[in-house]
């Protein structure tokens, strides 16, 4: 499947942690994001991208009893990739401005 880009985690009253991942599949153009439960293979079809945390939280709560501490974390490697790409984009933009002004 795709590369996990984000994790939604929630905890049961007993302290067990459950995770649902957002996986980005680059085989599609444009890419598609899938929400996949790491514990039972649940994967709804994503119609909107804005409410994935609600869908993940609802599933983790209703299917696994993980009702506490719903949180999202971005995948570490994707976060690092963006930290590298942003300065490069900034440098390119500055270069473009310099070219346009001269």
Q: Is 39 in the site for Zn ion (CB under 5 A)?
A: yes
What is the residue whose two structure tokens read 């302290």? 15
Q: Does 42 bind Zn ion (CB under 5 A)?
A: yes
Of 4-12, 36-44, 50-58, 94-102, the window that binds Zn ion (rule: CB under 5 A) is 36-44
Closest CA to 56 of 33, 11, 15, 22: 22
Of positions 37, 56, 66, 70, contacts Zn ion by CB under 5 A: 37
Query: Which candidate, 1, 23, 29, 22, places its Cα nearest to that of 72?
Result: 22
Q: Kindly tell me which of 40 and 92 has the beta carbon lying closer to Zn ion.
A: 40
């Amino acid at each position: 499947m795709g590369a996990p880009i984000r994790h939604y985690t929630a905890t049961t009253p007993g302290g067990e942690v459950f995770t649902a991942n957002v996986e980005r599949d680059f085989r599609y153009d444009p890419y598609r994001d899938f929400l996949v439960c790491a514990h039972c293979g649940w994967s709804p079809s994503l119609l909107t991208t804005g409410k994935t945390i609600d869908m993940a939280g609802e599933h983790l709560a209703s299917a696994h009893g993980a009702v506490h501490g719903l949180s999202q974390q971005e995948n570490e490697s994707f976060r690092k990739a963006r930290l590298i790409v942003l300065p490069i984009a900034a440098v390119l933009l500055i270069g473009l401005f310099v070219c346009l002004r001269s």
